[in-house]
Amino acid sequence: MLTEVAEQLALIRQEIRVNALEVGRNPETITLVAASKNQPIGRLEEAIAAGQRVFGENRVSETKDKWPLLRQRHPDLRLHLLGPLQTNKAKEAVRLFDVIESLDRPSLATKLAQEMDKSCRRPVLFVEVNTGEEPQKSGVIPGRLKDFLELCRGEHGLTIEGLMCIPPVNEEVSLHFALLAELGERYGCGGLSMGMSEDYALAVRFGATQVRVGRRLFGQRCG
Ligand SMILES: *Cc1c(COP(=O)(O)O)cnc(C)c1O
C-alpha cells in the first residue's frame, strides 16, 4: 500500500506532467522541489522512499538538524534553500545546499562569492525577485534586477541560473508568473522557480522549471 505522502507525490507528478504536455513542454524539464520546512522526519523519509530526491528548506539551522543523516543514507539527495539567507550564515549555506534560491541583495552576493571561492563548493544560484514590489518581502524589485545581475555576474563572477518569486497573496498569480518568465528571458536566466501548493500547475503552464510544493505533498506543517 502506498503511504499518504507517496500518493500525493504521484498525484502532483501527474498534474505537473499533464499541464506541461498541454502547453507543449517536456515534463522532464520541470523539477518538483519538496518544500519540507517544519515537517517531521517521518514524512521526509516517506517521500524519499517514494523516489523524491529534491527538497527545499527555509532555514540553515533547521537544515543542519534534519538533513546530514538523511544525506548520508541517500547521497543523491539535493537540497535547495528557499528562505531568506542572513549574510552571517552564508558560509554554512554554501556547505549545506546544492541550490540557493534566495539571493536578493549585493551584500549577500559579495559574501557568497567569497565563501564559494574559499570552499570547493559552488551551489547553483537563483535570484529572488519581489515581483509584487511588497515592502515587507525580500527579493530584488524588477526595476533593479538588471543592475543586480550585472553586479553578480560581472563583479563577482557568479553564474545565475534562474529567478525565483513568491507572488503577493491576494493578487492574480498568473501576472507574476508571466512577469518572472519575461524577466528571465530578457536577462538570460533560464531557470524559473515559481508555483507552490495552490498554484504549481498554473506555474508549469507559465514556464516554471522548478515548483516548490509543501503542504499539498506533506500535509499541514507542525508549527
Ligand atoms: C513554504 C514555502 C513553499 C511551499 O509552500 P506550500 O504552500 O506549503 O506549498 C514554497 N516556497 C517557499 C519560499 C516557501 O517558504
The closest residue, in CA terms, to atom 7 on ligand 1 is 197
Kindly give the interhelix angle for 41-49 and 4-22, rounded to the nearest 10 degrees.
60
- In whole angstroms, give the CA distance from residue 183 to residue 42: 39
Q: Write out pLDDT tens, residues 149-159.
A: 999 999 999 99
Task: Give me 54's grid cell.
Answer: 529534491
- In whole angstroms, give the CA distance from residue 155 to residue 1: 54
Please check the confidence at residue 223 and state whether its pLDDT lies above 90. Answer: no
Say yes or no: CB of residue 47 within 6 Å of ligand 1: no
- In whole angstroms, give the CA distance from residue 127 to residue 66: 25
Task: Give me 209's grid cell.
Answer: 522549471
Q: Which atom of ligand 1 is nearest to the CA of 215?
A: 8
pLDDT at 9: 98
Helix locations, 52-210, DSSP H: 60-73, 90-96, 106-118, 142-150, 173-186, 200-205
Q: What would the mean pLDDT of 190-203 be, rounded to a whole number?
A: 98
Task: Give me 31's grid cell.
Answer: 523539477
Helix locations, 124-214, DSSP H: 142-150, 173-186, 200-205
In this prediction, residue 2 has a pLDDT band, given cuts at 50, 70 and 90, of confident
- Percent above pLDDT 90 for the chain: 96
Q: Which atom of ligand 1 is nearest to the CA of 166?
A: 13
pLDDT at 3: 85
Q: What would the mean pLDDT of 55-80 be, rounded to a whole number?
A: 97
Average pLDDT, the chain: 97
Q: What would the mean pLDDT of 77-105 be, rounded to a whole number?
A: 98
Model-level pTM greater than 0.95? yes
The mean-pLDDT minimum among 43-47, 53-57, 99-103, 219-223 falls in 219-223
- In whole angstroms, give the CA distance from residue 132 to residue 114: 30
Bridge partners of 191, per DSSP, are 162
Say yes or no: CB of residue 35 within 6 Å of ligand 1: yes
Q: Write out pLDDT tens, residues 134-184.
A: 999 999 999 999 999 999 999 999 999 999 999 999 999 999 999 999 999
3-state helix, strand, coil in the chain (%, to 5): 50, 15, 35
Say yes or no: CB of residue 213 within 6 Å of ligand 1: yes
